[in-house]
Structure 1
């Protein structure tokens, strides 16, 4: 990997820097224990941060600009920003993270002649792409993904292995003798630009309309999205979530691990649904709900970091 000097990183972030602008990084690493020649970040803004930075072996550290006045080691180069985790993510994606895909269709994939796949898209091994499917520019479909008919996928979408897009929804009406009659599933799935879908996610097609995943939404592994659901822009849906039919989730909302949302409920914008919550009622904008059944916990809660592998 090429060496990236701290000055270039600071210029990219338009950030203040202390220490040698020529000190470089060839990789990224956790701040503790850190690595010589690595770029790391520190999320803390108090004395905890100072101790961690002193102990880290990393050469270049992105940290909070609230630490500018604190005595920090001259043997490291520090880059000061408002949101270290966000800045680190941008730098890592710009300079360090390699994209492991090649445009084109893998020789073991099955793609219907009626499907429209952009030349810059990547279709992985053993995928099955049905007719009346559109896949946009620079989208990546990893191995063993099944995409049923009547699915439109935008540009720069990532769908991880084992996902099933466009299967029949679960809807039945009992006849007089108890026989279950399936409700028709003639709709489709629309996945807008820059959506990311985790491994083994199931997104059912709409019954009479479409299931829609709006631009920039991120769906973690093992999530089930039922028919006619609409997930708003830049939502984050974490693993093991179950979303019932015709649920609407507003832009920039966050649904925590193993939460369940009852069919036909409306979740507002900037909502946080807590881990394991069972949502049985509509949730207004800018609200946190937790528990079973889900209850109001707070209002106007700013959605920040989702956690992750950092110190």
Structure 2
């Protein structure tokens, strides 16, 4: 317990060194990768146009320098500033679209008057990002849930089955937990492909506010749910067929049909050509027979005259 307090105190002091301002409003947000989040700012100066007096900064860790995201009424055109996914609302709140793990960190918002002096309280938003993945290894499924945070992680993570802890009563289900991550492993025979996404939920507790966030498993969200297979065979359900598999079946069916049509066409053409040859040969044979009959007839007539 004393070790935990020491770690928390050192982390707090580290944050104070990075943000020396005394008048600060702090916020904490936990979102899932792929979602959209709005970082609040409640102290807007009324006489500014397009938030020209507002400045947003980003720290990805307590040990790195700040990256300017928004200043002088404009989003910074910098790859590190993720400018293509940023937007600022009328009240100067910062909107991040399609959140990624790299967006986890601390965001600072300050305002300056026309003289360039800092005015009003500063807003600090600590953004944590939840990522969920799945792995299929033969007949075993493993679901992973992890949280990326600013500095040391203080958000406990665990898996729930039908809203309850996966306890010792489920011996056929294995669970493991570590700092800001948890996994659950079970046999594919226990749950159908559809059912497993309805029953399992990732539980993330906010270490700053005590709030609990529940994140269901969603196979439809490609940005947040990555499936890998040991044998490169993705498990499918009749109600949820995989797109590539469907197209593969269609392509194979079309190719097979084309092959059958080609074989039948060649066969018909070959038989027609063979029949034509036989007909020609028969006609030639008939002509020869007629010629032979004419010769014999002439020979017979000559013999009668001689007699």
**Structure with the greater relative contact order (CA < 8 A, sep ≥ 6): 1 or 2?**
2
- Higher helix share goes to which structure? 2
For the aligned pair, the TM-score class normalised by the smaller chain equals under 0.3
TM-score w.r.t. structure 2 length? 0.26
TM-score w.r.t. structure 1 length? 0.26
- Whichever of the two has the greater Rg, that structure is 2
